[in-house]
């Protein structure tokens, strides 16, 4: 029975992953249609077509490999004389079209976050309401009523920010800033209690926070707050990767993502079906927000790179020569594919040996 439930949850995860891709491409599609741009093909998946149909000017297709999708617009990758071509539209409309895929992914993240939060009885704040016995936080000088402002210079707006900051902090030396009444207090190089998980020391939460009563208003605000926290987490992780704070071994590609889904399903099923389903929804929420944020990076071949080129065009008030754009996007795509191959190899290596390329 457990095996059947696991298969059902894996199917749900695959469908959610497909919907995540669909919603991204749909963002490009509907914004293109609203701007009067001709869409030649709207496809979910890559590779050979499984089936397709023509409606109006657009061919709709489902393809064999569930690893992406595309919205092929007239004049997107070259000049076209069609008055409805992408290249004939004002630059502000083109900017909207390229960015809407990422926006739709973040909106999907909001919806999935609300589904998860809607099941909770109440929410967590960032205000201390009590301490555990022998609390290192209390010994450092924190008091009941203190509200966290930052941990190791990471700004705290909600409990997800607090959890992330504590998870990445060094327990032997943590800088904490709290608000106490109308004062802001600093506690520098605090040594905290820790617990070892998978060979790494993490800060122990030896305090309790004040609960927030659940109602429609707090559900909405908490949904937005937690989704913004995930967006911040993604940006911070990318910056930390570039600066060397996070190692390459802490990244995951498609293989690592599939493994993560399998792990959370197994973990959830140790409780019940609903826990397994919620774990799948949570991971898919992380994936869709990651996809949206990653696509906004101003790198060639990504939506953010195209947006950046259009921004330059808007400032210059004339388009960049097509041959230069083509070279930049080709090189960018090649670099991106090489990067994905390296990450995938690291994923496989981690599954086989327990360690990725980062050691």
pLDDT tens digits along 48-93:
898 899 998 999 998 887 767 889 999 887 778 888 999 889 999 9
- pTM of the full structure: 0.82
The pLDDT of residue 251 is 59
Asked if the structure places residue 112 within a domain, the reply is yes
The pLDDT of residue 252 is 60
- Among residues 211, 189, 183, 187, the alpha carbon closest in space to that of 138 is found at 187
For residue 273, pLDDT over 90 is answered with no
Comparing 23-27, 207-211, 245-249, which segment has the lowest mean pLDDT? 245-249
The pLDDT of residue 6 is 67
Domains of the chain: total: 2
The pLDDT of residue 184 is 95
Q: Which residue has the higher pLDDT, 201 or 349?
A: 201
CA–CA dist 18, 66 (Å, integer): 7
> Among all residues, which ones are annotated catalytic?
25
49 and 148 belong to one structural domain:
no
Element (H, E) at 71: strand 58-73
**Interval 115-166: pLDDT, tens:** 999 999 999 999 999 999 999 999 999 999 999 999 999 999 999 999 999 9
For residues 279 and 265, the answer to whether their CB atoms sit within 8 Å is yes
Asked if the structure places residue 251 within a domain, the reply is no
Cα distances (Å, whole numbers) of residue 122 to 109, 224, 231, 281, 285:
20, 16, 23, 19, 20
CATH at residue 150:
2.30.42.10
For residues 260 and 17, the answer to whether their CB atoms sit within 8 Å is no
What does pLDDT average to over the chain?
Answer: 85
Q: For 296, phi and psi rounded to 5 degrees?
A: -85, -5
Q: Which residue has the higher pLDDT, 353 or 58?
A: 58
**Interval 287-335: pLDDT, tens:** 899 888 888 888 887 899 889 989 998 998 888 787 777 788 788 778 8
3-state secondary structure of 47: strand
60 and 105 belong to one structural domain:
yes
Q: For 187, phi and psi rounded to 5 degrees?
A: -125, 105
The pLDDT of residue 102 is 93
Tell me how long the chain is: 359
21 and 106 belong to one structural domain:
yes
Query: What mean pLDDT do residues 186-205 have?
Result: 83
The pLDDT of residue 255 is 57
Q: Which residue has the higher pLDDT, 28 or 252?
A: 28
For residue 284, pLDDT over 60 is answered with yes
At how many degrees (to 10) do helices 254-269 and 2-34 cross?
A: 130
Per-residue confidence band for 236, with pLDDT thresholds at 50, 70 and 90: confident
9 and 36 belong to one structural domain:
yes
- Count other Cβ atoms within 10 Å, centred on residue 51: 8
Q: Which domain holds residue 289?
A: 2-118+268-353
Per-residue confidence band for 13, with pLDDT thresholds at 50, 70 and 90: confident
- Count other Cβ atoms within 10 Å, centred on residue 64: 11
Asked if the structure places residue 91 within a domain, the reply is yes
128 and 195 belong to one structural domain:
yes
Q: b vs e for 158-192, b when ≥16 Cβ sit within 10 Å of the residue's Cβ?
A: bbbbbbbbbebbebeebebbbeeeeeeeeeeebeb
16 and 111 belong to one structural domain:
yes
The pLDDT of residue 141 is 92
200 and 106 belong to one structural domain:
no
**Which pair of tokens denotes residue 131?**
């301490």
For residue 201, pLDDT over 60 is answered with yes
Q: For the chain, what percent of residues have pLDDT higher than 90?
A: 42
């Amino acid at each position: 029975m457990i095996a059947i439930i696991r298969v059902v949850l894996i199917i749900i995860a695959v469908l959610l992953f497909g919907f995540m891709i669909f919603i991204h491409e749909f963002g490009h599609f509907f914004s293109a249609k609203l701007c009067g741009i001709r869409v030649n093909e709207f496809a979910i998946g890559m590779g050979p077509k499984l089936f397709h149909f023509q409606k109006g000017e657009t061919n709709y297709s489902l393809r064999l490999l569930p690893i992406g999708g595309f919205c092929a617009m007239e004049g997107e990758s070259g000049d076209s004389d069609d008055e409805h071509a992408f290249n004939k539209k004002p630059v502000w409309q083109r900017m909207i079209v390229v960015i809407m895929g990422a926006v739709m992914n973040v909106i999907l993240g909001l919806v999935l976050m609300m589904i998860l939060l809607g099941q909770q009885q109440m929410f967590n704040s960032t205000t201390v309401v009590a301490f555990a016995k022998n609390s290192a936080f209390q010994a450092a000088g924190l008091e009941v009523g203190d509200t966290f402002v930052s941990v190791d210079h990471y700004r705290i707006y909600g409990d997800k920010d607090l959890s992330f900051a504590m998870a990445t902090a060094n327990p032997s030396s943590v800088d904490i800033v709290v608000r106490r009444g109308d004062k802001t207090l600093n506690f520098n190089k605090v040594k905290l209690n820790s617990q070892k998980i998978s060979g790494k020391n993490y800060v122990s939460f030896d305090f309790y926070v004040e609960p927030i009563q659940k109602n429609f208003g707090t559900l909405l605000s908490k949904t937005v707050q937690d989704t913004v926290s995930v967006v911040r987490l993604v940006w911070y992780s990318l910056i930390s990767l570039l600066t060397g704070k996070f190692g390459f071994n802490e990244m995951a590609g498609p293989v690592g993502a599939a493994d993560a889904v399998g792990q959370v399903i197994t973990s959830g099923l140790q409780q019940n079906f609903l826990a397994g389903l919620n774990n799948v929804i949570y991971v898919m929420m992380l994936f869709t927000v990651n996809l949206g944020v990653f696509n906004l990076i101003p790198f060639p071949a990504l939506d953010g790179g195209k947006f950046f080129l259009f921004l330059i065009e808007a400032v210059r008030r004339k388009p960049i020569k097509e041959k230069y754009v083509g070279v930049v996007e080709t090189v960018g795509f090649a670099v991106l594919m090489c990067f994905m191959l390296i990450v995938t190899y690291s994923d496989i290596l981690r599954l086989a040996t327990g360690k990725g390329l980062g050691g």
